[in-house]
Amino acid sequence: MSKENASLLGGRYRLVRELGRGGMACVYLARDETLQRDVAVKLLPPAVLDEGAAKRLEREARLAAAIHHPNAVVVYDFGADGGRPYLVSEYVEGTTLAGLADRGLGRFAESAALLLQPVASALGAAHARGVVHRDVKPANVLVSTDGQVKLADFGIAIAKAATSRLTGEGLLTGSLPYLAPERIDGREAEPPADVFSLGVSLYELASGALPFGGDSPAAMAAAVLAGRCRPLAIACPTAPPSIAALCHRCLSSDLAVRPRDGAELAALLAAVLAEEGIAEPAAELQRYLRAPEAYERALGIRQGRRCADQARAASSRGDLIAAAQFASRAATYQPGLEVAELVTPPRRRGRWGVALALGALAAVGAGGAWSVHRRRLEPRRLEPIAGAPPAPAPDSSKRPAVSLPLPVAEVRPRALARRSHGGRGPLAGEQGGEFPPAHVSLRTEPWAQVFVDGQSVGYTPTVRELTLPPGRHLLRLVNPYHPIREAPLTLGPGQSLDLDYALGAEAGAN
């Protein structure tokens, strides 16, 4: 047992075990012997013990103690023992939003917004007190086992009314991937900087990637300053337009575009969640935190059905572009769903209505309306598939068309007893016989709709494993932002094959 554990800290707190360690402090689980409760104690190690560090810890205690909100960690006490300052706060047993993300949770934009809405509310309380957090990120959001989400670590927070600077002139504080462009540019932190950080967190939870990439810190900072952000609709195909638009508002370099503070962002998140059928975020969050995996499975099914119903409704009133948007989202929620079946034009439109519906599907894909895709796309020429009718000659008088995969009925693929949805069962076909099936591990960058022998089996990254009968197959990857990729596969009994495709690269550069 260490010397720190041998006696009571401040005559009151018995250190139990270390919870975490950073460059400036160690955090311990401790027992408050006076009130008989577990607490978290942040203690400065001797290596960083100086007057400046002690003042920063005291400032953190004062700023955090001034914020009274159910979604902010409560500070109980501040003191010093043997010249070593310490801060005592509530102990939140559980994990962090970063820990949830590591488990593959928060993968829908709706669930990411659901988790971050109370964080925005806590930021609103801080901003109302003149406090800017300056280090908002998933690792600083605690998720308790009893269903609470709490913003923590006000270690580098700053009060706008502060008259002294404790971080040093020109010193950039915070975590680079979450820093707002004005802070990288050397300007003082304002509430919109926290809004930007929360926007990065929303993007990261929903897509599994950061919005601004770079091979080095300098490259990442340049991407943030230049606003080079990959659209959330591409990184997360299921992202509703309302949530994607709000996320990109938060990520704007124009402070006038961003929500002005946490309170406004919390209200906007609640509004977009209600628009997506989640009218009671607090109750939904409790259900989510009780069983995250089960909740997200149910959410995918629920939202997929909702989008399918919206697609049919839009189709029935003749709005085929909107129908295609909803249908494409429904298919990403529910891999294997036949998108074309949801976009059925009114009977009076006849052949022209069907052509318009297929054109809408091609233009929208899984990312948005035609206006998003008007850049020139030059898919490589595909060899005709056996049994498919000849493709019509292009009409140069019309706008360019995005290639649409051939309908299943026209391709006439081999008989397949069932489809593979992420490796959940073999494709038992004519070629398989009694031989063991082959297994294909598939990765694409970015996402793609996957067709095997003309049949859609879903979207990557949801589809990661394919179980196929031995023999010859045709793999087709479709993303409306990139040329279509095709790969003939010849698989032996029991064979395992790893495929990794970069759709934006030249053919053959996999």
pLDDT value of position 335: 74
Identify the CATH number of the domain in which residue 20 sits. 3.30.200.20
Give the residue with greater pLDDT, 337 vs 14: 14
pLDDT value of position 384: 37
Give the residue with greater pLDDT, 13 vs 147: 13
CA angle, residues 332, 335, 341, in degrees to nearest 5: 85
Q: Is position 16 within any domain?
A: yes
pLDDT value of position 214: 82
266 confidence band (pLDDT: 50, 70, 90): very high
Q: Is position 386 within any domain?
A: no
Residue 363 has pLDDT above 50, yes or no: no
What number is the average pLDDT over the span 452-474? 85
Q: What is the pairing mode between strands 26-32 and 141-144?
A: unpaired
Phi-psi region of 231 (alpha: psi -120 to 50; beta: other; left: phi over 0): beta
Residue 25 has pLDDT above 50, yes or no: yes
Identify the CATH number of the domain in which residue 227 sits. 1.10.510.10
pLDDT value of position 319: 84
Q: Are 443 and 464 members of one domain?
A: yes
- Choosing from 81, 102, 135, 395, the catalytic residue is 135
Q: Are 119 and 225 members of one domain?
A: yes
DSSP state of 28: E
Q: Is 153 helix (H, G, I), strand (E, B) or coil?
A: coil
Range of the domain at 497: 411-502
pLDDT value of position 172: 53
For the chain, percent of residues with pLDDT exceeding 70: 73
pLDDT value of position 80: 86
pLDDT value of position 347: 58
pLDDT value of position 434: 58
> Which of 207-211, 327-331, 355-359 has the largest mean confidence?
207-211
Q: Are 233 and 151 members of one domain?
A: yes
Nearest to 253 by CA among 185, 303, 152: 185
User: What's the mean pLDDT when you consider all of the chain?
Assistant: 77
pLDDT value of position 328: 81
pLDDT value of position 50: 66
Residue 159 has pLDDT above 50, yes or no: yes
Q: Are 209 and 276 members of one domain?
A: yes
Q: Are 144 and 250 members of one domain?
A: yes
135 given a catalytic annotation = yes
DSSP 66-120: T---TTBPPEEEEEEETTEEEEEEE---EEEHHHHHHTT-S-SHHHHHHHHHHHH
Q: Are 315 and 354 members of one domain?
A: yes
Q: Is position 399 within any domain?
A: no
Residue 421 near residue 304 (C-beta atoms within 8 A)? no
Residue 168 has pLDDT above 60, yes or no: no
Q: Are 353 and 310 members of one domain?
A: yes
Low-confidence winner among 59-73, 86-100, 148-162, 198-212 (lowest mean pLDDT): 148-162
Q: Which of 326, 352, 373 is the last residue of a domain?
A: 373
Report the residue count for the chain.
510
pLDDT, tens digit, 9 for 90 and up, residues 105-142:
777 999 999 999 999 999 999 999 889 998 899 999 99
Gap between the Cα atoms of 105 and 98, Å rounded = 10
Gap between the Cα atoms of 494 and 471, Å rounded = 11
Residue 437 near residue 464 (C-beta atoms within 8 A)? no
Q: Are 55 and 139 members of one domain?
A: no
Q: Is position 381 within any domain?
A: no
Residue 54 has pLDDT above 60, yes or no: yes
- Which residues have a Cβ under 8 Å from the Cβ of 99 and sit 6 or more positions away? 143
Radius of gyration of the chain (CA): 27
pLDDT, tens digit, 9 for 90 and up, residues 220-257:
999 999 888 989 988 888 899 999 999 999 999 999 99
Q: Are 137 and 230 members of one domain?
A: yes
Q: Which of 290, 307, 322 is the last residue of a domain?
A: 290
Q: Are 213 and 300 members of one domain?
A: no
Gap between the Cα atoms of 51 and 44, Å rounded = 11
Amino acid occupying residue 68: H
pLDDT value of position 154: 78
Residue 336 has pLDDT above 90, yes or no: no
Residue 239 near residue 199 (C-beta atoms within 8 A)? no
DSSP state of 9: B
pLDDT, tens digit, 9 for 90 and up, residues 186-212:
888 899 999 999 999 999 999 989 999
Residue 179 has pLDDT above 70, yes or no: yes
Nearest to 201 by CA among 187, 212, 217, 188: 212
Q: Is position 389 within any domain?
A: no
pLDDT, tens digit, 9 for 90 and up, residues 397-439:
433 333 333 222 222 232 333 333 333 333 333 333 457 888 8
Q: Is the peptide bond before 436 cis (omega within 30 degrees of 0)?
A: no
Q: Is position 468 within any domain?
A: yes
If one counts the domains in the chain, the total is: 4
Q: Is position 378 within any domain?
A: no
Residue 53 near residue 166 (C-beta atoms within 8 A)? no
Q: pTM higher than 0.75 for the full model?
A: no
| Structure tokens given for 339 | 């998108």
Residue 247 near residue 232 (C-beta atoms within 8 A)? yes
Q: Are 273 and 352 members of one domain?
A: no
- Could you report how far apart the first and last alpha carbons of the chain are, in Å? 54
Q: Which of 240, 273, 290 is the last residue of a domain?
A: 290
Give Cα separations from 9 to 15, 27, 79, 456 (angstroms).
7, 13, 9, 63
- Which residues have a Cβ under 8 Å from the Cβ of 91 and sit 6 or more positions away? 29, 38, 39, 40
Q: Are 369 and 448 members of one domain?
A: no
Residue the block writes with tokens 């059905």 = 305
Identify the CATH number of the domain in which residue 467 sits. 2.60.40
HEC sequence for 410-462: HHCCCCECCCCCCCCCCCCECCCCCCCCEEEEEEEECCEEEEECCEEEEEECC
361 confidence band (pLDDT: 50, 70, 90): low
Q: Is position 279 within any domain?
A: yes
Residue 310 has pLDDT above 70, yes or no: yes
